[in-house]
Amino acid sequence: MIKFKNVSKKFGKEVEAVKNLSLEIKESELLVFLGTSGSGKTTCIKMVNRLEEVSSGHIFVEGKNIQEYDPIQLRRKIGYAVQHIGLFPHFTVGENIATVPNLLNWEKEKTDKRVEEMLELVELAPDQFKDRYPYQLSGGQKQRIGVARSLAADPEILLMDEPFGAIDPITRFTLQDGFLKIQRKLKKTTLFVTHDMFEAIKLGDRIALIDKGNLQQLDKPETLIDNPANKFVEDFLGSQRFQLALLTKEINDLEDIKKLKKEKPKKEIQPEAGLKLTDSLLKAINLFKTTEAEKIGLYDKEKLIKTLDKEKLVSIISQFLGQWIASE
Amino acid sequence: MIQEFFTKLGNDIAVHAFQHLYLTFISLFIAVIIAVPLGIYLTKTKKEKLVNVIMNIAGIIQTIPTLALLALTVTLFILINQIIGGSDWYRDGGAIPTIGVLPGITALVLYSLLPILRNTYTGIKEVDPSVLEVARGMGMTQKQILTSIELPLALPFITAGIRISSVWTIGIATLCGLIGAGGLGDLILIGLRSNQIDYLIAGTLPAAFLALIFDGLMGGMEKWLTPPGLRMRKKKRQ
């Protein structure tokens, strides 16, 4: 879908923001560019819609070199959302969302319908929000409108530059969940820039860790955490690795659970609390904190496969984590 | 007594107030036509030196005392006539009139350039860079960004500049009587020379009223031209 081939970007003669980057983003994939500020991650995505031009190398979008596109046309088919949102203060929410459809001369009815769909998608009531102005919105609402606006013309590709960066942590989690839901539904090819590794792990299908313009590692989140490619990746993840592992490890990964799965299912009483096999260990631990239920059911998708004592499950997980730490 | 005043001077007031407004409108109109496009150009050009030079020139004109500027304009016109018609230019009449409406308007235009120019420039430069980046990133052309983002957002600034200029121009236009350009200044001059208080009042009060009315009108215009999304933000701040 998108291909970087030996791409470099220099600002002036001295500063090389991106060095010889080659990678490929598959269709419907969400690739996260992760790195500290100044690592060149933002430059990477700005080159895709030609807000920055490559100094050398080539970028291909849908098999065609972006230099062959008219930059204006190229940008109109790529959704774009940034950290500072940049809502047009003199446009209503509806007009903001309709920006690209209007640039593409959509018919008014089609645009209006699309605006409402988009507002529903980001879970804001259309009749309540459509005619508001940006100053009448909270930070989180603005951010949702920013995402809705980037999706309005139904682009195949999305570029997101720390879209949830300037938001308080609690709202950020809600927005991330909301965005994941949308992404699972729409399956846009997305390039997502962030410096927050938790966000990267949570959202990314794959993560490209970048430092000083160099690609350090490009892998699935769990691989990144289990097998850091080099010292830099290890240091970058640093003390957070344990917490990150809680996010990436699933109930499925527990050896004892794998064994349990093979046992013949017995008739079980419907438990009060339950976990899916694909839930992360973090979710399990959070459940233990909040539930008073003594029995916890394990579900393979919708099917109950086993009911365990809470105590038992806690000990399985802690044993697993103990071993994991010891092996690191 | 009031009736007497108006029977004697009513006609004079009307004629001179009209001349006064005529001078003001024409000068403002020309100033807007020059300063707004120039201001826009200065925000787009990459030649920072040029921006500084032009802003400084407009600033220097502003610091010249009004009377001196009028005299300078007349001098300038005489020089132009000399260049065109040689040193005997006055015998067969100069190429351009050196006193009257033309030098008057020229001085007024020069004076009202700066506020409009400066406000247009800052109004556009003040637009949030992230708004511009997104506009570009979503595929707006430079022209679309200017007409649908930058100008609407800068409009309240630009109108404020025109408002300042218009009030100044009305004030300064009273001095144009000195170079024979007409206006309410004529009445004031008559009053001063012949010690007639009624002429002084007939010149000063209408001039003050005109300035107040203009200020009010332009203030209303400023509010009306402010995009609603910004209008309410202002209210909230207060």
Q: What is the DSSP letter of A134?
A: G
Indicate whether B57 belongs to any domain. yes
Give the least confident one: A40-49, A305-314, B73-82.
A305-314
Provide the percentage of residues in chain A whose pLDDT is more than 90.
Answer: 43
Where in the sequence of chain A do the CATH 3.90.1280 domains occur? 249-327
pLDDT at A287 (0 to 100): 81
Indicate whether B235 belongs to any domain. no
Q: Do A90 and B153 touch (CB under 8 A)?
A: yes
**Spatial separation of the C-alpha atoms in residues A115 and A120, rounded to whole Å:** 9
C-alpha atoms less than 13 angstroms from C-alpha of A32 in its C-beta half-sphere: 24
Where in the sequence of chain A do the CATH 3.40.50.300 domains occur? 2-238
Check: CB of residue A58 under 8 Å from CB of residue A5. Answer: yes
B236 touches chain A (CB under 8 A): yes
Q: Do B134 and A51 touch (CB under 8 A)?
A: no
**Spatial separation of the C-alpha atoms in residues A68 and A58, rounded to whole Å:** 11
Q: Nearest residue on chain B to A82, judged by CA atoms?
A: B134
A86 touches chain B (CB under 8 A): yes
As for how many domains chain B has, the answer is 1
> Which residues of chain A have a CB within 8 Å of the CB of B139?
72-76, 100, 103
**Spatial separation of the C-alpha atoms in residues A24 and A2, rounded to whole Å:** 6
In CATH, the architecture of A2-238 is 3-Layer(aba) Sandwich (3.40)
A134 touches chain B (CB under 8 A): yes
Indicate whether B42 belongs to any domain. yes
CATH number (domain holding residue B36): 1.10.3720.10
A82 touches chain B (CB under 8 A): yes
Tell me the helices (H) and strands (E) count for chain A, helix number first.
15, 13
Given a cut of 80, whether residue B134 has pLDDT beyond it is: yes
Indicate whether B83 belongs to any domain. yes
> Which residues of chain A have a CB within 8 Å of the CB of B232?
133, 135-136
Of B128, B130, B137, the CB nearest to A51: B137
Indicate whether B195 belongs to any domain. yes
Q: What is the pLDDT of residues A89-113, one digit of tens each?
A: 999 999 999 999 999 999 999 999 9
- Cα of B138 to nearest chain A Cα, Å: 5
Q: Do B236 and A135 touch (CB under 8 A)?
A: yes
pLDDT at B236 (0 to 100): 47
pTM over 0.95: no
> Dihedral, CA atoms, A200, A206, A208, A209, nearest 10 degrees?
50
Given a cut of 70, whether residue B234 has pLDDT beyond it is: no
> Which residues of chain B have a CB within 8 Å of the CB of A102?
none
Indicate whether B178 belongs to any domain. yes
Looking at chain A from residue 42 to 61, which residues have their Cβ under 8 Å from any Cβ of chain B? 49, 51
Confidence grade of residue A209 (pLDDT, cut at 50, 70, 90): very high
Q: Nearest residue on chain B to A91, judged by CA atoms?
A: B229
Q: Nearest residue on chain A to B227, judged by CA atoms?
A: A90
Indicate whether B163 belongs to any domain. yes
- Cα of A217 to nearest chain B Cα, Å: 28
Range(s) of the domain holding residue B103: 12-229
CA-based nearest residue to A137, from A182, A171, A110, A173: A171
Q: Which residue has the higher pLDDT, A162 or B237?
A: A162
Q: What is the pLDDT of residues B3-61, one digit of tens each?
A: 888 888 888 899 999 999 999 999 999 999 999 999 999 999 989 899 999 999 988 98
Query: A124-161: string of b/e by CB count within 10 Å (b at 16+)?
Result: bebeebbebbbebbeebbbbbbbbbbbbbbebbbbbbb
Going by CATH, does the domain composed of A249-327 fall within 3.30.1490?
no
Q: Do B228 and A75 touch (CB under 8 A)?
A: no
Q: Do B138 and A99 touch (CB under 8 A)?
A: yes
B233 touches chain A (CB under 8 A): yes
Q: What is the pLDDT of residues B180-233, one digit of tens each?
A: 888 999 999 999 999 999 899 999 999 999 999 999 999 999 888 888 888 765
- Cα of A159 to nearest chain B Cα, Å: 10
Q: What is the pLDDT of residues A225-257, one digit of tens each?
A: 888 888 888 888 877 777 777 777 888 777 777
